[in-house]
Every structure is written in structure tokens, then in C-alpha cells.
Structure 1
Amino acid sequence: MKSDLEIAQEVTLQPIALVAKNYGISEENLELYGKYKAKLSQSFCSAQEGKQKGKLILVTATNPTPLGEGKTTVSIGLNDALNRLGKKSIVALREPSLGPCFGVKGGAAGGGYAQVAPMEDINLHFTGDFHAITSANNLLAAVLDNHIHQGNALEINPKKILWKRCLDMNDRVLRNVIVGLGNQADGAMREDHFQITVASEIMAILCLAKDMKDLQERLDKIVVAYNKKGERVYAKDLECTGAMAVLLKDAMQPNLVQSLEGNLAIIHGGPFANIAHGCNSIRATKMGLALADFLVTEAGFGADLGAEKFFDIKCAAAGLTPSCAVIVTTLRTLKYYGGLPREEISKENREALEKGLENLEKHIENVKKFGVPAVVAVNRFATDTEGELSFLKDFCAQRGVRCAIMEAYGKGSEGGEELAKAVLETVEAGEVNFHTLQTPEQKISQKIELLAKEIYGADGVEYSNKAREELKKLEESCYSNLPICMAKTPYSLSDKPNLLGRPKNFRIEIRELSLSAGAGFVVCLAGDVMTMPGLPKEPAAKKIGFENEKIVGIF
């Protein structure tokens, strides 16, 4: 089969203005970035407020594996299939980060015949949103250090600076750095840190802000440091949040592209799900719900991270009610979680499959805890056997969950019809009783315990001394009502990546808590999760280049 990039480059795309017109968007409401990309105007976005009429479909997954599950491919294929069945549907996705694109994971524009395009642009600079976020983040860092250099009227404690610089690249050597080396004019020398742009609180703020006014208010609330009295110093105290908002003005506008079959896709924002809340912007989601009968969106990684944060953080902040959650998995994934070696993963093995189904079962249970009906999507591979597929379908049927085979990668929308029909049947059944698990009334420690026990299946929680001190401060503050955003490994229900399947008899170890007051949540770092990834021994960047005036190597 041809590569994803070859398939995408062979498709003749429609002008984005024509695609948008099919969804009731006139060209005067677009800001064009060439022929095939556009942003929705600020005025159009404002005019759609309160018009959300569509059904919200979340695509989530079992815990990811090195084998790949194809969640974005399923999201795009499901959207194309819904349109094929005569439904007006839009898919809303996150923007890819350059870090994974040049690292090991690759891009995030789907695969095979279920892609959004132009995939090269989407996976690289796109419309410049991430650059704007990086610039706003680093402006705040520069102003903070300049304030200290120019006399430090706020009496900021240089050893209690919380705000990190960022870069949209996997660069491990920047995790811990010394700044201010050189002469006195070069600033105060201190330890500093970088994180990847998608981990910046500004990324989370952009995705949760309802409009420019809300954006400005959230930027004001960012906690950047403590002063010498131990009091919080906010971004508004540095008087630069107006400039930050100006940098983010265009980035606040959702981006329009299309699938290979010419259906509208809104791609906007991109917080990591293991570090941040892992969902595209509220603005993009609400635009889709206002313009179509169905809005298909995804949340990062497995349901233990992505779906939980989608429900507890995004839906709570935006007043959204999901109609259905699709849980993506593969037979290969389930056998991997059943302990089968990677070299044998393509062989039929009922015992390993049955063992691996414990992971899927937990994710089904988790989705149901929120009162949202689930559908299991099996992203099919050529080596899958009918016997194993039938066994998986029976497993789901016994738990009252529809299960559909997904073949959009090789067949486009036709291969997604079975899943689309299962989703429509589930939505039409109307069995939704949506509610969040985290509530403002719960203490922070109660929310952490709830996630550990109810979502991850842990016996309890252990805190480092540092985390315990931070927890005490937060619970005694005005921020105790905020939801928890857990930062942990995506590869396990636990905080240990090597505990596969459905681990038991473990405790979640919280090593650090940090307040994201602008985003409106408290981040809990569990285990060894890092906010600045590194490149692998053989980064994907080595394969990317030009051949015959065409980009090659992106996947």
C-alpha cells in the first residue's frame, strides 16, 4: 500500500472556501491561508455563540502501545462515514506538535484514506498557532526576568520562579538550564527550565477560553512566581498580558481544512494529554456543534487520561454534554496487553486476547461512570482473524456495548460505515445521563483519590514531601475547588509504564502539584512524566526531506 503522504498528495483537494460553503460559511467569514486552509473570523465565531445544536461524539481509546491504535484515523473515518450516510458532520481535532512529528510518534493527521489535508502543512507550521503560543509564553518569561534585572519592585524570589520557557521541539538538554551567565547587564543568573509548547499553560488557556475577553482574564491569572514574603505573583502584576493577548489574537481563531473526501475539519489547539488536558479548543468544538448535526472529536491517549479530562475539565468548563464515546482498540493492542511478544502479535492467540481484554473492559467501565454510552471501534489490520474479531464482539455484547469493525484506513468512508451506524444507533437510543466525577465541592485530595481509585483502579495515593506541602497550600487557598489534571504515563492505567493490561495492587505516587490558575485546574505530576520530551536514537526527522520538489518522509 502507498504511504500516507503519497495517498494525501494524489488527492485533488477542493478550495477550502467551497468546502466551507457546503456548511453554511460564506467566504467573507473566512481568513484564507492559501487555497486549502482558512481561519474562521472573530465575528463569525462570536455570532455562533449559543447556537450549538449538534450531537457531540467523543473518540477515545484503550491505553496506547508502540503498535499504534489509529485514534485520529478512526475519528476522521467516522466523520467521513457519517457524511456518506447523509448526515452533516464535522470532525474537530488537535493540531500536531513538531516534537512528536520529528521524534518517534510522527504526525497527527490520520492515515491511509482517512486523513485531513493538506497533511504536510497541518503536521508542520500550519497557520502559526503554536508559534504564537511559544512567543506569548516566552514574552512572559522575558518580562519576568527583565523585571528582576530592573530592580525587582515586586520582590520576586529568584528561587521561587514557576514560569518556564517553552519550545515546540523535543529537546532534552533544555529541561534544566542556567540563564543569566555573563556580565551584570546579561541579567540575574538562576536555574531555569524549558517545556514543550504543548505543555505550556498558555496552550491550555487558548483551548479553554471562550473568547478574547476570557482569554485576557485567564492570562491575568497565571501564577508566575512567589515573592520574598511567600505570596503569589501573577502575570497581570508584570503588566504584559495585553501584549500576550495581541500575540494570540489570530491563534484564537479556529482553523478549517478538509478530509480527503472533502468533508470539513476544524483543527485548533493541541495540549498534550499526559501533561495537560489533551483536547482541541472549546471554540472549535462549539463551532462544529453550531454548524453540523454531529461533531466528532477526540481526546488524547486512552480514556483514563483523555476521556476523563474531556469530561471533567473541558465539558465542565464549556457546558457540553457528549452523546456517545467511541473507544478505539485493535486486536494487536489487546494481545500486547495480554503479554504476547511483539514478534508474535500478528498470530491468532485467544488466551492473550482474553487477558488483554481486561484493559478494554476497564475503559468501558470508566466511560460509563460518566453516564455516557460507549461504542467499541476495532481498527482492523490485515492479520486479524474472523475468530478473534467474533470473540471480541461477543465480549462487548455481553457488557451491553456495541462493537464495530473499522476499516477506514484502507477503504475510506465505506470502511467506516459499520462504526457510523453503531454510533447513530447508540445516539438515537438516547441513553445519556452525563455527569462529571470531579466536583467543586470535593477537596483536592479527594479528587486525586477519586481518580486513583475509580479511574486507574489503584488502592490509594502516596505523596512526596514536596507534593504534600503543595497540597496543603492549595487546599487552604481559593483554588481548592478547581479540577485535577493528572499528568502521568499514558501507557498504563497506573503511573508505571511497564504495568500493562489492568494492573492491581498498586498506588499512585504524586511527586508534585502545580497550580494552573489561568487554565483553571491543578496539575498533579505522577511517576516520571516529563514536560520536555527527548528525541529517540533514530528520530523521524532523519527521513523527512524533498524529492522531485515534493515533501517526503512525513507520516
Structure 2
Amino acid sequence: MSHKSDIEIAREAAKRPIQEIGAKLGIGADDLLPYGHDKAKVSQPFIDGLADRPDGKLILVTAINPTPAGEGKTTTTVGLGDGLNRIGKKAAICIREASLGPCFGMKGGAAGGGYAQVVPMEEMNLHFTGDFHAITSAHNLLSAMIDNHIYWGNALGIDQRRVVWRRVMDMNDRALRDIVTSLGGVPNGFPRQTGFDITVASEVMAILCLASDLADLERRLGDIIVAYTRDKAPITCRDIGADGAMAVLLKDAIQPNLVQTLENNPAFVHGGPFANIAHGCNSVMATRTALKLADYVVTEAGFGADLGAEKFMDIKCRKAGISPDAVVIVATVRAMKMNGGVAKGDLGAENVAAVQAGCANLGRHIENVKSFGVPVVVAINHFAGDTEAEIAAVTDYVAGQGSEAVLCKHWAEGSAGTEALAERVVALAEGEGSAFSPLYPDEMGLLEKIETIATRIYRADGIVADAKVIKQLEEWEAAGFGHLPVCMAKTQYSFTTDPTARGAPTGFSIPVREVRLSAGAGFVVAICGEIMTMPGLPSAPAAETIRLNEAGDVEGLF
């Protein structure tokens, strides 16, 4: 078994020119817009020409609630894509781009790990093809134009106290959460309170990931509600006149990025909304394009199935008219132990009883995903210290839930370690078929949608919301936004809003602190508990150990 770091393995990869990877999917060299030798965007005319082709099978990879023990969702997504190619299927993977915030903060990179990685790993975790910078620029252009409109006489009659468009940057910076702008007198405008979110929480990010093409992108940008007048009439981005220029800034960013796995299989890496504060799926354009080009498309939804998978089903599938043919839930023996009460330092010791106790978290996710009418398989992402008895405990538990668990060794062995999972996924996707339906209908009221997710997915007794939150939802319904799905902003670590409540808790309620209308993206965000739309850095940020070595290579990204 290798003890090389992820970045060492990635650096030794025998990458093929990106034109060769495109050719595997039938994308000609002229239809690729190369960014160097190993990454390219797929051109819009080529994508437009795919419309009449049939779709391949869509496989969603999700997970249990994350723990400090690690689950390996991206690693499994990459490993399964390689595994499907290994057993003779034409497969592509679709994942999200990495945000600089967690990269320099807590989480490290987002390109998989071990021998199941997407490369070029350093670029993917840094600036990549500049998509996030374009989103940041487009978002802040709108911010600047709103304040500028007010400065030059405020012809639209914007109530400065009701400007709801904040600013963004792609970095964890808690100092910017709640700030006052335009101090310094008349030349600098009118002081007002505002704040920054992280770029991945921007409505522009959500719009880029949900838009079907450039025209749809521009229309959705125009629909963004940025402020209200004194009599509460909405002011949109279109009213400010920023939609055209924002679309220009995003014209390249909306094109899906093609890269490759360590085994030279195609991977689309595009878009990057977080799943705890946004909708957590890669772009509709990338997924749809992949479905036209491959027989199997493996995509990932962020964090646990209570967040990423629910949003994938209720927001992305609903909006894009797609549905998964099978769902893989990733779990690890180590994470089961943590859910069963074992401290991180004690994970090395065999503890079958803790594994069994922790399986309740996995069981709830299995039940939840099945409730969408889709077949489920559990992938046990193998760690070297896992014992036979512990693995058997998970396998037996999953069998008792009417599903199957498959041991996966892709981290150490690449696609050889996911053959069994690939075979199982094919059997499910081509077998009984999926009877997918979302959790709630469009016509259900907004508050009821929030309650439905809280009670049926999180298993809460109900929600707790201020009168002002309820009134706000009623006003949006009256304004014609009641049909929108909801995007829950909640901690990823628990079914509850308490990040320390592991396992499968009961007897709790979900406090809804604030609601935000994303009229362009087409959903209402419900901010629950203490969740922040601008994260902070930890006491010892990853940035402290990231540097260039003497050879000029990046170190410390993993």
C-alpha cells in the first residue's frame, strides 16, 4: 500500500493531452477551448448540437453526515467513474470546483484522494480556469452598481435599509460578515450596513449552476432581487441595468471544464456551491452535457444526504428535468465509530459495538434516499485499519435495511478497488428502474416545504420560526414566488442544527433564523441555527503549511 501523499501521487500522474480525453467522449479538438495542456472548456455550439441525443444513466454519490474521521465522497465518485470504465462502460464524472476558502482553511483540496483523484490537482484547488473569480467579479459589479445608483440620485427610489444584495469573496474572512460601507463623507456615498458572503454562497454561483444556457443565465441574472423601495416594491438586477455586463463576465465561466482522472478518464469539474449554505451540486450544463456523451455519469452532491442529496433531488433534478438511476451512499467504518461515540484519537482500536451504534446515522440516510423512489447501494470506503468484524457489522446492518454494502478500495488500488461497486451500480441502474419523485410538490406553501424537509428528512418534531420569517414567506407567496423549492442552510455535521449531535437524533426542532429569496436561482434559502454564509478560518489554517518548495512545486495542499 502506498504511503505517498495525494499531491505526490497526483504529480506523478501520466496525464494525457486534454484533446485525447475529449476524443473518448467524441468531443473534437476544435470543440475544446484549452486552458494549458490538461484542462479545457467545452464549446457552446458543440453542447447545443447534443440536444437530440438520448441521456445516459445518472448515478448520484452522497454520504452520511461528515465527521472528522473523513468519508471520501469525491474519492468514491472518482473511483466509481474509473471502475465503470474498467468494466467496459463509457463513463464520465461530474464534480464541483474547489473553493479557496476551505482550501486555505480547514478542509484541504477537493479533487479526491489516493489513487482516485482528478488532475491537475494543484490548479483545480487554486484558480483552475478562473470561474470563481468571474462569479466574484460579476456579483460585485452588481453590488457596485447598486450603491452607484443610490449615489447618483436614486431614481428607482431604493430604500437603503432594504438593500438585500451583499458582497462576496472566495475566502473565509469572518471580519467581513457584518460591516458598514461608504464611510468618509459625501464623495463616498451614503453609509449603510452590509456584509460579505463567501463566493460559493452567491446567488450568481447558484444561477451559473442551474442555468441551461447563456440566454437563460442572463434572464436569471436579471431576475435577481437586489433591494426594495420604501413601499416594499422589489428592485431587480435588470432594473439596475447590470444583467448584460454580468453575463459578459460569465460567458466563459458558464462553459463546463473538462479534465481527467489519474486513469485518464473524462471528468467535468464545473460550479461549486457549498451544500450546507447553497445547493451543493455541480452545474446543470456539465451534468446534461455529460449525460449526452457518456453511458454512465457519476456525480456528487455535497456533504451528507440530508443536505446534498435532498437538494440534488428537490432543486437540481426538479429544475433540470433529470433524475438519478441509482444512488451511492458513502460511509466509513471510522465514521460509524465516531457516530457511535468514539473520540477521534481512539479510532484505531477495534470497536464493533460502536460501529453498530453509529450505523443509525447511515440507516436514516438510506431510508431518506429511498423515499425519493431511487435504488440505493452503500459504498464502504476502506481504511487500512478497518477490521473484518467492523466491516461485517456495517454490511450486516445495511442488509437489514434492505440494501447492500460494497467494500471499496479505490483510495489504495484505483479502479481495481471499485469493480464490485461498479457492477452493483450497473445492476441497479439497469434493473428495476427508478421511480423518482421529489419530496414535495411545487404548489405546497413555502413554510410547509421547510417543515416537510425538517420533519421527513431531518426527523425533527417541527420548525421554530419568528413571526417576521413567517410574514416574509407569506409576502413572497403573495408576490408569486410560492412555487419555488427551498434550499436549507444548515450544519452538515448533524441531522439537527447542533453540530455535535451525531447519530440519528430525535426530539428536536429546527430553528429557522432568516429566509432569503433567490429569485434568479429560483429558490428560497432558509438559514437554520448558527450556520454562517461567510465561514471563518480555524485557529491553525491550512494556509500556514501551504508553500512552494525549492523545485517550485506546491506543497501542503493535502
Q: TM-score, normalised by structure 2?
A: 0.98
Aligned pairs for 1:389-404 within 5 A: 389-404=391-406
1:114-154 deviation digits (Å, cap 9, x = unpaired)? 00000000000000000000000000000000000000001
Separation of aligned partners in 1, 2:26 and 2:346? 50
Separation of aligned partners in 2, 1:543 and 1:341? 26
Q: Are the counterparts in 2 of residues 323 and 430 from structure 1 also a CA contact under 8 Å?
A: no
Separation of aligned partners in 1, 2:114 and 2:173? 30
> Alignment partner for residue 81 of structure 2, among 60, 67, 79?
79
Separation of aligned partners in 2, 1:498 and 1:18? 47
Separation of aligned partners in 2, 1:230 and 1:382? 59
Q: Residue 409 of structure 1 aligns with which residue? A: 411
Number of residues paired by the alignment? 555
Separation of aligned partners in 2, 1:369 and 1:256? 33
Aligned pairs for 1:404-553 within 5 A: 404-547=406-549, 548-553=551-556
Superposed displacement of residue 475, structure 1: 2.8
Counterpart amino acid of residue 513 in structure 1: V
Aligned pairs for 1:91-490 within 5 A: 91-490=93-492
Counterpart amino acid of residue 553 in structure 1: G
Superposed displacement of residue 421, structure 1: 1.4
Superposed displacement of residue 471, structure 1: 2.0
Separation of aligned partners in 2, 1:348 and 1:422? 28
Superposed displacement of residue 346, structure 1: 2.0
Q: Are the counterparts in 2 of residues 324 and 427 from structure 1 also a CA contact under 8 Å?
A: yes
Q: Are the counterparts in 1 of residues 79 and 116 from structure 2 also a CA contact under 8 Å?
A: yes
Separation of aligned partners in 2, 1:20 and 1:520? 32
Counterpart amino acid of residue 180 in structure 2: I
Separation of aligned partners in 1, 2:359 and 2:281? 26
Q: Are the counterparts in 2 of residues 339 and 352 from structure 1 also a CA contact under 8 Å?
A: yes
1:518-550 deviation digits (Å, cap 9, x = unpaired)? 000000000000000011111111111111221
1:469-494 deviation digits (Å, cap 9, x = unpaired)? 21221232200110011000000011
Q: TM-score, normalised by structure 1?
A: 0.99
Separation of aligned partners in 1, 2:329 and 2:7? 26
Separation of aligned partners in 2, 1:287 and 1:97? 23
Separation of aligned partners in 2, 1:41 and 1:4? 31
Identity of aligned residues (%): 53
Q: Are the counterparts in 2 of residues 52 and 287 from structure 1 also a CA contact under 8 Å?
A: no
Superposed displacement of residue 340, structure 1: 1.2
Separation of aligned partners in 2, 1:84 and 1:506? 46
1:282-315 deviation digits (Å, cap 9, x = unpaired)? 0000111111100000000000000000000000
> Which moved further from structure 2: 417-426 or 374-383?
417-426
Q: Residue 557 of structure 2 aligns with which residue? A: 554
* Runs ≥4 residues deviating over 4 A: none
3-state SS of the aligned residue for 2:180? strand
Aligned pairs for 1:31-50 within 5 A: 31-50=33-52
Q: Are the counterparts in 2 of residues 143 and 238 from structure 1 also a CA contact under 8 Å?
A: yes
Counterpart amino acid of residue 114 in structure 2: G
Separation of aligned partners in 2, 1:400 and 1:423? 16
Q: Are the counterparts in 2 of residues 164 and 192 from structure 1 also a CA contact under 8 Å?
A: yes
Separation of aligned partners in 1, 2:269 and 2:334? 29
> Which moved further from structure 2: 470-479 or 349-358?
470-479
Q: Residue 58 of structure 1 aligns with which residue? A: 60
Separation of aligned partners in 1, 2:173 and 2:467? 29
Superposed displacement of residue 464, structure 1: 2.2
Superposed displacement of residue 402, structure 1: 1.7
Separation of aligned partners in 1, 2:282 and 2:513? 27
Superposed displacement of residue 214, structure 1: 0.6
Q: Are the counterparts in 1 of residues 65 and 304 from structure 2 also a CA contact under 8 Å?
A: yes
Superposed displacement of residue 419, structure 1: 1.2
Counterpart amino acid of residue 374 in structure 1: V
Counterpart amino acid of residue 508 in structure 1: I
Q: Which runs of 5+ in 1 are unaligned?
A: none
Q: Are the counterparts in 2 of residues 470 and 512 from structure 1 also a CA contact under 8 Å?
A: no
Superposed displacement of residue 45, structure 1: 1.4
Q: Are the counterparts in 1 of residues 447 and 470 from structure 2 also a CA contact under 8 Å?
A: no
1:388-417 deviation digits (Å, cap 9, x = unpaired)? 111211111122212111111111110111
Superposed displacement of residue 52, structure 1: 4.1
1:186-238 deviation digits (Å, cap 9, x = unpaired)? 11111111000000000000000000111111011101011111111111000
Superposed displacement of residue 49, structure 1: 2.3
1:327-349 deviation digits (Å, cap 9, x = unpaired)? 00101111101111222222221
Q: Are the counterparts in 1 of residues 68 and 344 from structure 2 also a CA contact under 8 Å?
A: no
Instruction: Give the superposed CA RMSD.
Output: 0.9
Counterpart amino acid of residue 446 in structure 1: E
Superposed displacement of residue 430, structure 1: 2.5
Q: Are the counterparts in 2 of residues 403 and 422 from structure 1 also a CA contact under 8 Å?
A: no
Q: Are the counterparts in 2 of residues 466 and 511 from structure 1 also a CA contact under 8 Å?
A: no
Q: Which runs of 5+ in 2 are unaligned?
A: none
Q: Are the counterparts in 1 of residues 328 and 377 from structure 2 also a CA contact under 8 Å?
A: yes
Q: Are the counterparts in 2 of residues 516 and 522 from structure 1 also a CA contact under 8 Å?
A: yes
Separation of aligned partners in 2, 1:274 and 1:342? 23
Counterpart amino acid of residue 208 in structure 1: L
Counterpart amino acid of residue 455 in structure 1: I
Separation of aligned partners in 2, 1:27 and 1:295? 22
Q: 1:491 to 1:50 in 2, by over 3 A?
A: farther
Q: Are the counterparts in 2 of residues 470 and 514 from structure 1 also a CA contact under 8 Å?
A: no
